[in-house]
Amino acid sequence: NAGVTQTPKFQVLKTGQSMTLQCAQDMNHNSMYWYRQDPGMGLRLIYYSASEGTTDKGEVPNGYNVSRLNKREFSLRLESAAPSQTSVYFCASTELAKNIQYFGAGTRLSVL
Amino acid sequence: GQQVMQIPQYQHVQEGEDFTTYCNSSTTLSNIQWYKQRPGGHPVFLIQLVKSGEVKKQKRLTFQFGEAKKNSSLHITATQTTDVGTYFCAGLSSGTYKYIFGTGTRLKVLA
């Protein structure tokens, strides 16, 4: 099993450009999450999807949109990137019965 | 909103010394989890505590959940260079699927 796979691993954008971060899990988990990690800030929840067909805002949703395409895939879209969105983005999925979060390797995004 | 704070933010220890990080929530938590993130890596689950006053051990690591379910601690005995990384606590917000992560404690171990 690959676990949680994120693409791309690295990305550089210019201000105003758009892009979609992809996340897929092969563990048949119901819940999926998007976090951003900034130095000294820990992990902050952007959006989550408790189950297929549902999405909810986290702590810092402004400037982002998400799509739960199916049970496996949960994508994060930046419509008009800003320098403040420079960060490391992690996707995670959870097996509800155990509440354990499994993280992908992350996407390192720079917005110039 | 709900906040989870960790102290200290950084800790440098000599190899063989003990290390403790503390986690405090502004609200009662359903459970508390601990994760470790190696430099350049992603968070990896260590343990979950559910019961008030619970104590769990994993080799040199001891985890505690406070009686009021609002605080927790991680203690490492006789640190090794392999313990280097950032340790995060995370609480499941009651009645939701949302995890609130602490700010993390970055541990450096000097050989």
**B86 close to B108: Cβ distance less than 8 angstroms:** no
Summarised one tens digit per residue, pLDDT across range B41-97 is: 999 999 999 999 999 999 999 999 999 999 999 999 999 999 999 999 999 877 777
Rounded Cα distance, B107 and B88, in Å? 11
- A101 contacts in B (CB within 8 Å)? 33, 35, 43, 45, 90, 99
Q: How far is CA B102 from CA A111, B6, B24, B49, in A?
A: 26, 6, 8, 15
Show residues of chain A in contact with B47, CB under 8 Å. Answer: none
Q: Phi-psi category of B101—alpha, beta or left, where left has phi over 0 and alpha has psi -120 to 50?
A: beta
Residue A1 confidence class, pLDDT cut points 50, 70, 90: low
Inform me whether the pLDDT recorded for A32 exceeds 90.
yes
How far is the alpha carbon of B78 from chain A, nearest alpha carbon, in Å?
26
Task: Tell me the two tokens of residue A55.
Answer: 């999405």
B38-A102-B8 Cα angle (round to 5): 40
- Partner-chain contact B43 A33, CB within 8 Å: no
What is the reported pLDDT for B102?
Answer: 92
Question: Residue B46 and residue B54: Cα distance in Å, rounded?
Answer: 15
Other beta carbons within 10 angstroms of residue A5's beta carbon come to: 15
Residue B55 in 3-state DSSP? strand
Label residue A13 by pLDDT band (50, 70, 90). very high
Query: What residues pair up with A96 in beta bridges, in sequence order?
Result: none
Q: Which two tokens stand for residue B24?
A: 């405090």
- A–B CB contacts, 8 A cutoff, strictly below: 55
Which tens digits make up the pLDDT trace of A67-98? 998 999 999 999 999 999 999 999 999 987 77
Contacts of A48 in chain B (CB under 8 A): 97-98
